[in-house]
Amino acid sequence: MTDMSDIRREYQLGELHRKQLADSPHTQFDHWFQQSVNSDLIKDPTAMTLSTVSPDGYPTGRTVLLKGHDEAGFRFFTNFTSDKAEDINFNANVSLLFAWLPLERQIIISGTAYQLTREENEAYFHSRPRASQLAAWSSFQSAMAQDRSELDLRFDALSREFEGKEVPCPEFWGGYCIEAHSLEFWQGRSERLHDRFRYTRTENGWHLARYNP
């Protein structure tokens, strides 16, 4: 057994109090997100773990990149034939997790995914670097591959096919927006007595409560 029992540290960078928290969890998210960006401590502040559940009941988490956030939700882009998209087709309830550990912070979001419109997909697709556009066409995301050259050959063939032309947005590629039902903000504290606040959507707006760590 590899023993990790001695790897531990105290969390003491900050504290979270109810009076510091915005009325809207989306405002609070923007506030923490901006602090993550400004801190220069988080290399990939948009990286989040998206968890979905497969039709046979197994959860899977994987990293995706946040590409937009507002009161409507959290947006990311992917391949609509991927495993995650198959899971979402079956069960649109998902979780997002941001682990901003250098700031001793975590945000967990529960919500429901819905697909963005074709116009929104095209607008974002055409804003991406050309190589990323070709990569979207080249990858049969989540399918088993024989070897690396299969992928490289497809990329080269598509580069030639679209040479001098605009790369169209594939029908099988686009975005989801996660409409949040709950958002939890966690700030590490010393002696493992961390601060934890959760906003839950109710008929009368957001309900905010402290939870035990």
Ligand X SMILES: Cc1cc2nc3c(=O)[nH]c(=O)nc-3n(C[C@H](O)[C@H](O)[C@H](O)COP(=O)(O)O)c2cc1C
Smallest gap from residue 85 Cβ to ligand X (A): 7
Helix axes 148-161, 130-138, angle to 10 degrees: 120
The residue (of 75 and 198) whose beta carbon lies closer to ligand X is 75
Nearest distance from C-beta of residue 122 to ligand X, angstroms: 17
- Taking the complex as a whole, the smallest distance from the CB of residue 103 to ligand X amounts, in Å, to 18
Q: H helices within 95-168, ranges in order?
A: 118-127, 130-138, 148-161
Q: Pick the closer one to ligand X by CB: 128 or 196.
A: 128
| Cα angle, residue 72 at apex, residues 208 and 127 outer, rounded to 5° | 135
Could you give the residue numbers annotated as active site? Answer: 192
| Cβ(32)–Cβ(46) below 8 Å | no
Place of tokens 């590490």: 188
Q: Which is nearer to ligand X, 11 or 100 (CB)?
A: 100
29 or 199: whose CB is closer to ligand X?
Answer: 29
Applying CB under 6 A, the residues found at the interface with ligand X are: 44, 47, 60, 62-65, 76-79, 82-84, 141-142
Region at 191 (left for phi over 0; alpha for psi -120 to 50; beta for the rest): left
Token pair listed for 8: 């531990």
Q: How far is the CB of 78 from ligand X (least distance, A)?
A: 3
